[in-house]
A and B are shown apart, each in its own frame.
Chain A
Amino acid sequence: MSTNMTIHLRYWRQTGPTARGYFENRTLSTVNEHMSFLEMLDVLNEELQLDGTEPLEFDYDCREGICGSCNLVINGQAHGPKKGTACCQLHMRNYSDGDHITIEPPRASAFPVIKDLVVDRSAFDRIIEAGGYVSVKTGSAQEANAIPIQKNDADLAFDYAACIGCGACVAACPNASASLFTSAKISHLSHLPQGNVERSNRVVAMVEQMQEEGFGDCSNFGECEAVCPKEISIAAIADTRRDYVRAVIQG
């Protein structure tokens, strides 16, 4: 049987977008190694409520690392210490009795805080709106096997398509750039014949939308790749840059 651990938490509190935030401290003594990180926060919230205080707000939904809702920055690292893992899939067995853990929202001016650890990531939707799609209407598709696609290309496209839109890349980037998020979608679609048709328009529209949203530019720090829960390769950004320059020059 597992034994209980004591964990010292320090977490961000902010009542609203314009309010001044601050850190609050609390020690939990009933943390179990099999708990997920978010289950540990559930336990925190039960304690806070039983004390008659407001629970800590954070975003989550599927809790299996695929919806991209959760996006905590844990001890300065987006999604915490485990490589290729969203924080909902991080388990407390990665921590030890007596550990201190600081939890913050992702910090980026394009992701304003809504409350506590919850931020507004609608900028990501607007980047996709700008061109992250194939312009095919329902009903107008041809037979699925009409265009063979090399297995390698399909696999590569999938690697980029695996992005869950959590925003860890933005949180980790010293420039708060959304380059990895944006490029992952661009690379996904440009590796497929279906997406290749609109390649030039897409890259220009999406990159410009990213800039308009207030995300920074890429300076090749590579922090985004390091924290990405889906381990999306930074090669996507190189592809995007090449495509962008080509599209702009060709007009």
Chain B
Amino acid sequence: MISLNAKIPDGPLEKKWSRHKKEMKLVAPNNRRKYEIIIVGTGLAGGAAAASMAEMGYNVKSFCIQDSARRAHSIAAQGGINASKNYPNDGDSVWRLFYDTIKGGDYRSREANVYRLAEVSNNIIDQAVAQGVPFAREYSGLLANRSFGGAQVSRTFYARGQTGQQLLLGAYQAMMRQVELGGIKYYTRHEMLEVVIIDGRARGIITRNLVTGEICQHEADAVILATGGYGNVFYLSTNAKNSNVTAAWRAHKKGALFANPSFVQVHPTCIPVSGDYQSKLTLMSESLRNDGRVWVPCKKGDDRHPNDIPEDERLYYLEEKYPSFGNLVPRDVASRNAKLVCDRGLGIGETGLAVYLDFRDAIARDGKDMISAKYGNLFDMYANIAGEDPYTRPMRIFPAVHYTMGGLWVDYNLMTNIPGLFAAGEANFSDHGANRLGASALMQGLSDGYFVLPSTIGNYLADVKPGTRYGTDHEAFDSAAKKAQETIDRLLNINGKRTIIDFHRTLGRIVWDKIGISRTKEGLEEAISDIRSLREEFWTNVYVPGEKNNYNKYLEFAGRVADFFELAELMAMDALDRDESCGCHLREEFQTEEGEAIRNDKDYSYVSAWEFKDRNGVLEEELHKEELNFEFVELKQRSYK
């Protein structure tokens, strides 16, 4: 029987983490070198954890699918990272960052986790600055801040529009230092395919060497998955092309619970889709909403040049509907309202699936130079992709899938229900509830990697006898490796007629249409049956090219798409279970006339944690509920009016 004990420490909210740190068991420095820790993924969470744990003296094995740790998808984060330093003296505090985050998540996350996140946020900025991360600065030489959606204070630290890149390079460089010092064994172009569990504990992983195709066994005392989110289940998303759910999903199939799979963030400011060949969507930082004004023409089918549409014929729908937050409402609210105006036929462009983001007034107020200094690289990127100049013509934007709040279920120590298996960063579900606020993904990844896991891993390892080795010839390694190889062989032997990308694109359309910005019971049920029949066809009619013992990108994709099929079905089941609207999850049956979410705290104030069951070849998922208790904040209907 699975027990969902979140292991949240007792005591007042602001004392929980410090008290837990005081009470956790430690591993002495001379014993740390006797432990091996596997860390899969080298983004902010995985990279930071690998560097920090190696510095402490643990033996770390770090794996990534890219050709270098520096390419993990954290690198693409643009806007910034939150911290409650309160340098601008505008009333920020740990409490307020905590409160904004838990409210932003629509009260579907744990108070204790979110408070800890707000608490360590300041250490992250200190750490990054010490590593040489070139954050934006004022003329005083001190750090600059800007505001971001969902907050009424300026608490976001940034490095132009490349904050993720700079923070990741900081973590990567710290990692490389440990590679040189021997603390980290570094495996690039390796994909994790299975977790190995012995006597109920995670004891290793099976990987595929993506260059040679070799299936490899790696043993360790603990395994950390920092493998990112699953936004690519939608095919089109802002995620990098190689981002995938495989590591987390294979762990799920070995017993790790998957939490809140239907909680997917759709980012409001992306460049709209232009055609079928499109392989990904490009996000433009939400910081643009600080100065850009979002609008559509008041009249349906108004195809005049946007600059020719007079002020009184423009509908600034966010400013009108949400006077106190205006264009800075949280992402879910901004995305949903973009969809609403497009559903009313007010969308712009050939597809009618876009709205304007206009800098005319900001340029008139601050001058082109000032706007260019703030957003120059984003404007260039837009001009390059869309082929239009945003300084003289409003940008066209539309929401796109961006981040997944759901992920592997973890307790307060970031450990899954499988002892010794941890999950960090976007791969876990822990801190963002039903909606993530801008500039908090970087914060969570680095919080998990630099400050939480290095403490909690010791607490776990203290109970594992140092030097316990079963050997990679143990039966559990053998059978896991066989299973990984069998899946690959099966895929290569189908020899069907439809390409992998064709299947993925079709799956993505189903998921976007029916498990996207808004959901209905009927649509979700249809989604489940559509996904099942497409999955059946996949396993009989997909064409996987090439060989297994060679570099073969499409073979990698085939395995990932196979996992996306199963995940997609679970997402629909989860959305179907939740008869309420909260954060990103809008069930059309549960909304106000204005399209605002109606939460049901009485019945749905829980984390849904799904257990994978294979009943004679039929995949089933069993729901477990972790009730969320709010002791310190009062649950309110979110209002950004």
- Interface residues, chain A, with chain B CB atoms under 8 Å away: 1, 15-16, 32, 34-36, 38-39, 42-43, 45-46, 48-50, 52-55, 57, 59-69, 82, 85, 89, 91, 93, 114-115, 118, 120-122, 124-125, 128-130, 132-145, 148-151, 154-155, 157-158, 161-162, 164-165, 188-189, 192, 194-195
CB<8 Å pairs between A and B, sample of 8: A114-B551, A122-B68, A128-B176, A133-B177, A149-B141, A157-B134, A165-B71, A194-B129
Q: Please indicate which of the listed interface residues B130, B172, B240 has the most CB atoms of chain A within 10 Å of its own CB.
A: B130
The reply to whether A59 and B67 form a contact with Cβ atoms under 8 Å apart is yes
Cα–Cα, bound, A161→B543 (Å): 42
Query: Inside 8 A of A61's CB, which chain B residues have their CB?
Result: 66, 71, 73, 240-242
The reply to whether A133 and B384 form a contact with Cβ atoms under 8 Å apart is no
- A120-B67, A130-B180, A144-B85 in contact; A192/B241 too (CB < 8 A)? no
Task: Check if B138 is an interface residue, CB within 8 A of chain A.
Answer: yes
Residue of A nearest to B186 (CB): A125
Residue of A nearest to B283 (CB): A64
Residue of B nearest to A120 (CB): B67
The reply to whether B385 and A63 form a contact with Cβ atoms under 8 Å apart is no
Query: Inside 8 A of A42's CB, which chain B residues have their CB?
Result: 277, 279, 501
Cα–Cα, bound, A39→B282 (Å): 14
Query: Inside 8 A of A143's CB, which chain B residues have their CB?
Result: 126
Q: Please indicate which of the listed interface residues B143, B280, B450, B550 has the most CB atoms of chain A within 10 Å of its own CB.
A: B280
Query: Inside 8 A of B546's CB, which chain A residues have their CB?
Result: 54-55
In the complex, given contacts A61-B71, A61-B240, A148-B142, what are 11 additional A-B residue pairs having Cβ atoms less than 8 angstroms apart? A36-B385, A46-B502, A67-B76, A89-B385, A122-B67, A134-B173, A139-B123, A141-B129, A158-B159, A164-B165, A192-B134
A-B residue pairs, 3 tightest by C-beta: A148-B141, A141-B130, A133-B173
Task: Check if B70 is an interface residue, CB within 8 A of chain A.
Answer: yes
The reply to whether A50 and B499 form a contact with Cβ atoms under 8 Å apart is yes
- A49-B545, A67-B76, A148-B140 in contact; A188/B132 too (CB < 8 A)? yes
Cα–Cα, bound, A16→B138 (Å): 51
Within 8 Å by CB of A66, from B132, B165, B277, B543, lies B165
- A39-B278, A49-B554 in contact; A91/B384 too (CB < 8 A)? yes
Shortest CB distance B401–A (Å): 15
Query: Inside 8 A of B630's CB, which chain A residues have their CB?
Result: none
The reply to whether B279 and A69 form a contact with Cβ atoms under 8 Å apart is no
Cα–Cα, bound, A135→B451 (Å): 18
Within 8 Å by CB of A36, from B69, B279, B451, lies B279
Query: Inside 8 A of A67's CB, which chain B residues have their CB?
Result: 66, 71, 73, 75-76, 240
Cα–Cα, bound, A134→B55 (Å): 13
The reply to whether A124 and B68 form a contact with Cβ atoms under 8 Å apart is yes
The reply to whether A150 and B141 form a contact with Cβ atoms under 8 Å apart is yes
Query: Inside 8 A of B283's CB, which chain A residues have their CB?
Result: 64
Query: Inside 8 A of A59's CB, which chain B residues have their CB?
Result: 67
The reply to whether A142 and B130 form a contact with Cβ atoms under 8 Å apart is yes
The reply to whether A161 and B169 form a contact with Cβ atoms under 8 Å apart is yes
Query: Inside 8 A of B275's CB, which chain A residues have their CB?
Result: 32, 34-35
- A49-B543, A64-B76, A115-B551 in contact; A134/B131 too (CB < 8 A)? yes
Cα–Cα, bound, A85→B384 (Å): 9
Task: Check if B454 is an interface residue, CB within 8 A of chain A.
Answer: yes
Residue of A nearest to B48 (CB): A138
Within 8 Å by CB of B454, from A34, A138, A157, lies A138
Shortest CB distance A171–B (Å): 15
Task: Check if B299 is an interface residue, CB within 8 A of chain A.
Answer: no
The reply to whether B180 and A129 form a contact with Cβ atoms under 8 Å apart is yes
Q: Which of B137-187 contact A (CB under 8 A)?
A: 137-143, 159-160, 162, 165-166, 169, 172-174, 176-177, 179-180, 186
Query: Inside 8 A of A138's CB, which chain B residues have their CB?
Result: 48, 51-52, 55, 127, 174, 450-451, 454
The reply to whether A125 and B141 form a contact with Cβ atoms under 8 Å apart is no
Task: Check if B398 is an interface residue, CB within 8 A of chain A.
Answer: no
Query: Inside 8 A of B162's CB, which chain A residues have their CB?
Result: 66, 162
Task: Check if B403 is an interface residue, CB within 8 A of chain A.
Answer: no
Task: Check if B637 is an interface residue, CB within 8 A of chain A.
Answer: no
Query: Inside 8 A of A136's CB, which chain B residues have their CB?
Result: 127, 130-131, 174
The reply to whether A64 and B126 form a contact with Cβ atoms under 8 Å apart is no
The reply to whether B141 and A121 form a contact with Cβ atoms under 8 Å apart is no
- A89-B385, A120-B67, A125-B68 in contact; A154/B176 too (CB < 8 A)? no
Query: Inside 8 A of A194's CB, which chain B residues have their CB?
Result: 129-132
Cα–Cα, bound, A35→B277 (Å): 7
Residue of A nearest to B157 (CB): A144
- A39-B278, A128-B173 in contact; A34/B136 too (CB < 8 A)? no
- A42-B277, A188-B132 in contact; A125/B76 too (CB < 8 A)? no
Task: Check if B26 is an interface residue, CB within 8 A of chain A.
Answer: no
Shortest CB distance B170–A (Å): 9
- A93-B387, A195-B132 in contact; A135/B551 too (CB < 8 A)? no
- A67-B71, A194-B129 in contact; A46/B499 too (CB < 8 A)? yes
Query: Inside 8 A of B186's CB, which chain A residues have their CB?
Result: 125
- A121-B67, A130-B180, A165-B70 in contact; A141/B387 too (CB < 8 A)? no
Q: Which of B22-44 contact A (CB under 8 A)?
A: none
Cα–Cα, bound, A164→B387 (Å): 24
Task: Check if B188 is an interface residue, CB within 8 A of chain A.
Answer: yes
Task: Check if B211 is an interface residue, CB within 8 A of chain A.
Answer: yes
Task: Check if B314 is an interface residue, CB within 8 A of chain A.
Answer: no
Query: Inside 8 A of B241's CB, which chain A residues have their CB?
Result: 60-63
Query: Inside 8 A of A114's CB, which chain B residues have their CB?
Result: 211, 551
Query: Inside 8 A of A129's CB, which chain B residues have their CB?
Result: 176-177, 179-180
Cα–Cα, bound, A225→B159 (Å): 22
The reply to whether A89 and B129 form a contact with Cβ atoms under 8 Å apart is no
- A129-B180, A134-B173, A194-B130 in contact; A57/B71 too (CB < 8 A)? no
Task: Check if B371 is an interface residue, CB within 8 A of chain A.
Answer: no
The reply to whether A63 and B173 form a contact with Cβ atoms under 8 Å apart is no
Residue of A nearest to B159 (CB): A158
Cα–Cα, bound, A154→B134 (Å): 6
The reply to whether B71 and A54 form a contact with Cβ atoms under 8 Å apart is no
Query: Inside 8 A of B123's CB, which chain A residues have their CB?
Result: 139, 141
Residue of B nearest to A149 (CB): B141
- A62-B73, A91-B385, A161-B166 in contact; A134/B132 too (CB < 8 A)? yes
Query: Inside 8 A of A34's CB, which chain B residues have their CB?
Result: 274-275, 387
The reply to whether A145 and B134 form a contact with Cβ atoms under 8 Å apart is no
Cα–Cα, bound, A165→B168 (Å): 13
The reply to whether B73 and A125 form a contact with Cβ atoms under 8 Å apart is no
Query: Inside 8 A of A38's CB, which chain B residues have their CB?
Result: 279
Shortest CB distance A243–B (Å): 16
The reply to whether B499 and A68 form a contact with Cβ atoms under 8 Å apart is no
Q: Please indicate which of the listed interface residues B71, B73, B136, B174 has the most CB atoms of chain A within 10 Å of its own CB.
A: B71
Q: Please indicate which of the listed interface residues B141, B160, B162, B278 has the most CB atoms of chain A within 10 Å of its own CB.
A: B141
Shortest CB distance A16–B (Å): 7
Shortest CB distance A209–B (Å): 10
Query: Inside 8 A of B280's CB, which chain A residues have their CB?
Result: 63-64
Task: Check if B490 is an interface residue, CB within 8 A of chain A.
Answer: no
Task: Check if B125 is an interface residue, CB within 8 A of chain A.
Answer: yes
The reply to whether A132 and B278 form a contact with Cβ atoms under 8 Å apart is no
The reply to whether B545 and A133 form a contact with Cβ atoms under 8 Å apart is no
Q: Which of B171-226 contact A (CB under 8 A)?
A: 172-174, 176-177, 179-180, 186, 188, 211
Shortest CB distance B46–A (Å): 14
